[in-house]
Each structure stands twice: as C-alpha cells, then as structure tokens.
Amino acid sequence: MKESFNLRNVEFKNRILVASGTFGYGDEVPDLVDIAKLGGIVTKSLSMKPRDGNPSPRITETSSGMLNSIGLANIGVHKFINEKLPTLKKSNSTIIANIAASSVEEYCSVLELLDGQEGVHGFEINVSCPNVKEGGLSFGTDVKLVSLITKELRKRTQKPLIIKLTPNVTHISDFARACETEGADAVSVINTVIGMSVNINTRKPKIATTTGGLSGPAIKPIALAKVYETCNAIKIPVIGIGGITSWEDAVEFFIVGASMVQIGTANFINPATGISVVEGVKQYCEKNGFDDVEQIIKSLQTDKTISIVDSWL
Amino acid sequence: MKQEIVQIHSLEYLTNEILELTFISDYLSSVAKPGQFINIRVGDNFPLLRRPFSIFNVEGNKISIVFNVIGTGTKVLARKRKGDTLDVLGPCGNSFLLFIDDSFDTAFFVGGGIGVAPFPFLTKHFPSHKKIVTYLGGRHKKLIVTKGLKNIKISTDDGSDGFQGTVLDLIKKDFQENDYGKIRFFICGPTRMMKAVANYANTINADCYASLECDMACGIGLCQGCNIEVIGGERKYKLVCKEGTIFETKTVWL
C-alpha cells in the first residue's frame, strides 16, 4: 500500500499533515505523539519579528467548532531557526514552514532566511494576514496581491511553495488559478471562516477582536465544497483542510480531490488525531482494494442515483 | 503528560450544588502535583473541546475533581455514572509546590466558590511545619466545600454559613485579630475576588500566588488561546495552561 506523496521532489511519508497553529513548532507534544509517523508538520506562522498576538479572550467554543483570534502570536523567524529547528531536524519529519507577514517584502525576507535551512522542506504561505500598507485588508482577498506574493516567492525558492487560501472570498478558484499561474506547487484550502459569537448577558463579543476564525467540524462541509471547487479549477495539488477529526473525514477530502490533508482543531482535543487518521486511511484503502491512496483521489462518483446512507439512522 | 481513558469510580454531591467526581488512574495519581489540572473530554462529540478541572484530591489510585453545573461541559459531566469512561489528558500546568519556601510562616489558602478545588490536595502535601489557614467564600452555604481542608474560616454573602460578607473582609478581620508571622497567600476563585485579595496581600507585604482560570482549547500550549497579560517582562503575554495556571499575582494583570 503506497501512502507517500511527492511534491516538487519532497517526499511526504503519507498524506496527513498537521495544520499551522495547531501543533506549535512540533516540539510541544513529544510525550503524546510520535511526530515521525505524520506526513509532515506545518509550523505555526512565522513572521520576521516576534509577535505578541491579540488580547484575551482569544478563543471560544461555538456549535461544533471554535472561534479564534490568536493574532499570529509567534517567536519570530530568527528564534525559530536558532531554537526550534535543530530539534525539529532530528525528528525525522517533513517540516513545512508557514509564513505570515504584513508586506510583500516581509514575506520575501522571511522565506529567504528559511530557504537556506536544511531542516525546512517547504513553505506554506498564510495570505490571510492584514496588509499594513493597504490599511489592514487581508492580502488573501485580493487576487492581484496573491498573484504578486506567489510570483515573488517563487523566484526565491526551489522548495515546495504552497499558498494557503482563505474561504472568505466569492470564488476561491480564482485565487487558486492565480497561484497556479505564478508557479505555486500546491494550494491549501481552506483557512478559517470569519465568524462571531456574543455573550447575551454582557452583550459583548466572546472574543476580544469581535470576529475571528471559525474552525472545527462546523466548517467541514464548507471546506469540502471549496476543495471540490478548487480541484476542478486547477491541475496542481490541493491540500484539504477544514474540520477533519477522523479518517473518514480525510477520505471525503481525498474523494473530492485533495492530494493531501491537514488536521487542525482536532489536535487540540486529541493531539494524536493525525496518527489515527494515517492508520484509518491505510486500512480503508486496503479493505477496498486500493494499493495507492492516489486511486481514491478525485474519485467522486457523479451518477445521480443517490443511495440512502444507513448510518444516518 | 498522558492522554488516557479512565473509569469513573463515583460521582457524589458534596453540597446541594457541588459534585465530586472520582476516577481511577494509576498514572495520574502517581505523578500529579497540587495545583495541576486535568483536561477532560466530557462527551464524545459534544461539547467539542476539553474542559479543564483542578485536581481536588488524590487517594491511592483515585483522583477527583469538583464542579458545579454552570454550563454545557459541566451539564454533560453531571450526567455521568459510576463505570462510565472519560478521556482525560494530564497532568497539565504548574504546581503550587513550586512556590513554597522558607520565607513565610503561615499559608493563607483562599478559595472563592468552586475555587476551593486545588486546596485539599495542596493541604495534604503542604510542609507540616507551616501553619495553614483556609478561608472559604461563597454566595451561600451550598457553595462551601470543606472536605480535606484544615483550619477553615468561612464567609458567605448571605450569612447562611460563617461570617457574613466577602472573604476579603473575613481575612482582614482575622489578620487584625491574630499574629500569623510572615504570610503567603495561595488563592483561587473568581477574578474579582482574586484581584481584591491580591491587592490586599500587597498592602500587608505578603506574597500572593493565584491559580487562574481561562477558556482553553488544548490545555497544553498548542492553541495559544489562554493568554494572560504579563506586567513588565520581555513578552506581553504568557499562557495560562502551560506557564501557569499559577502565577505570582504581582507579575500578571488579573
């Protein structure tokens, strides 16, 4: 059974990664998870300088999900290279550095610093950050800016370049096409969905920034639809993200077209979710006679006779 | 730290409103320290996130927590029965034991309502040569838990048990009437109470350590959701789950 996946000459052991911001820098869970069994680790977003992040409260639980506004709190790229990367290198894992920045120049500088590092195997670019020059509007909702970032970063690295797209746009496929055109190797779909929650006793928002990013099972159907839309628009691989808590969820993403998946919020509940998804996907393939996970990717059956699902009852 | 499935040994009411849930864990009972917490998945799919609970007591291989039914998590937990299983992750956070040294004679434990939770376990492990006074405050007597505590002084808002008034008024009165030598406060409870007690500790030149409560997703530092603003220092925030839950009150904005 072939579980591995190759992206621009980087071999991922399997197609299950852990999502940025849900696994720290990979060094916080050594007692709980054997990270070498995962397909890869996407680091917390890294910016040039350390960022304190947003005030408290930063999180709240909502129906089948959670809202967060962490504000990209991180130790900065220099500290990451000096203090975290040496340990990560020894872990025998594939490391994707996630980059967040407030200007195109900052994206480029952070990537250049990391590109020469042996332990960094590739990049995922978080474009859902406020663009300081444009009055704080997100880069990720402007297709021209996403094109520009992709183009500039492509010039600067031969390692896999993945753009993580926001679902908070009308047509995510327009953004995916722009990334493909400018030479991205893959796109991650989706980042969190903008959401809000209010305490009716105090009549205050439940998180300090009023609105935040919704994640968890609540967004899985949205994510699946966005992945489906994206996979039908581009030829480069799509990495599916959004509310995956089980291997069954991961298989759904593969069927609609995702080449890899990332586990996010589920890590907060069970840090070893990724490992169980790896096992579950493998068993599903073996049981159904697939000898490579590739065979289930984009295998959505489109005949119109929908059968009633037993498990619904 | 481990994640494990444990079996519930008992669930009983300590007062009309407060429940003690005891479960069996060889691992947790052998490694847990007073002041640490356990992050519990109270239901399979609902609620989504774990809920953090202070360790109330450890006896043999049994560990217990206390709670009152105040929200979605505790509502589900209160429906559990003996023999049911729970998915627990822990022990998490730091321990009060880190803040015990020779520079004080008497420990003032201050528990506001369900904030009493960490003190019985701490009482058990407190150096025997030090004096402990335990101040418990609550709106009414149904919120006062005395199990496993020493030298207890009670205040209630409605006077249904002990001194009528706030726990801080009780402490002030007691402090004036007695000589306790050099005092150190160990406190847990609603933020307003902790703020008031911490300010008072400052005025009488006593150190004060508080176990803070915060909404948490993971409890182990992955999500960065439970930040507390630090006074001074290089970083603006610390994480309650990992760098606390116990902080010297002078070092954080309560």
A24·B222 Cβ contact <8 A: yes
DSSP-assigned letter for residue A80:
I
Q: What angle do CA B81, A271, A294 make, to 5 degrees?
A: 120
Own/partner long-range contacts of B192-197 (Cβ < 8 Å, ≥24 apart): B193/B110, B193/B112, B193/B115, B193/B137, B193/B166, B193/B167, B193/B168, B194/B112, B194/B249, B194/B254, B195/B254, B196/B166, B196/B168, B197/B110, B197/B167, B197/B168, B197/B171
- Label the pairing between strands A161-165 and A122-126: parallel
Which residue range forms the structural domain that includes residue A199? 5-312
In total, chain A counts a number of residues equal to 313
In total, chain B counts a number of residues equal to 254
Q: Give burial (CB, 10 Å; 0-12/13-18/19+) of A7.
A: buried
Query: Averaged over B185-194, what is the pLDDT?
Result: 96
Q: Amino acid identity, residue B215?
A: D
Interchain CB contact of B229 with A (< 8 Å): yes
- Label the pairing between strands B2-13 and A260-263: unpaired
The CATH number of residue A212's host domain is: 3.20.20.70
DSSP letters of A271-304? TTHHHHHHHHHHHHHHHTT-SBGGGGTT-----S
Q: In total, how many domains does chain A have?
A: 1
Per-residue confidence in pLDDT tens, chain A, 313 aa: 999 999 999 999 999 999 999 998 888 787 789 999 999 999 999 999 999 999 999 999 999 999 999 999 999 999 999 999 998 888 889 999 999 999 999 999 999 999 999 999 999 999 987 766 666 678 999 999 999 999 999 999 999 999 999 999 999 999 999 999 999 999 999 999 999 999 999 999 999 999 999 999 999 999 999 999 999 999 999 999 999 999 999 999 999 999 999 999 999 999 999 999 999 999 999 999 999 999 999 999 987 766 666 666 6
A22·B222 Cβ contact <8 A: yes
pLDDT of residue A135: 64
- Contact assessment for residue A227 and residue A258, using Cβ atoms and an 8 Å cutoff: yes
A267·B224 Cβ contact <8 A: no
DSSP-assigned letter for residue B101:
-
Measure CA A169 to chain center.
17
Class level of CATH domain B2-92: mainly beta
Q: Which of B3, B45, B215 sits opposite A32 (nearest CB)?
A: B3
CA distance to partner chain A, nearest, from residue B165 (Å): 25
pLDDT of residue A309: 65
Tens digits of per-residue pLDDT, B97-155? 999 999 999 999 999 999 999 999 999 999 999 999 999 999 999 999 999 999 999 99
B48·A217 Cβ contact <8 A: yes
pLDDT of residue A302: 83
Tens digits of per-residue pLDDT, B229-241? 999 888 899 999 9
Tens digits of per-residue pLDDT, B9-51? 999 999 999 999 999 999 999 999 999 999 999 998 899 999 9
In the block, residue with structure tokens 């709240």: A60
pLDDT of residue A310: 64
Tens digits of per-residue pLDDT, B63-93? 999 999 999 999 999 999 999 999 999 999 9
Q: Is B39 helix (H, G, I), strand (E, B) or coil?
A: strand
Nearest to A96 by CA among A27, A154, A19, A2: A19
Q: Do domains B2-92 and B96-211 have the same CATH topology?
A: no
Q: Which residues of A touch B (CB under 8 A)?
A: 21-24, 28-29, 31-32, 50, 52-53, 55-61, 64-66, 68, 70, 73, 216-217, 265, 267-272
Distance CA A227, CA A257 (A): 7
Domain ranges of chain B: 2-92, 96-211
- Give the CATH fold of the B96-211 domain: Rossmann fold (3.40.50)
Q: Is B7 helix (H, G, I), strand (E, B) or coil?
A: strand
CA distance to partner chain A, nearest, from residue B236 (Å): 6
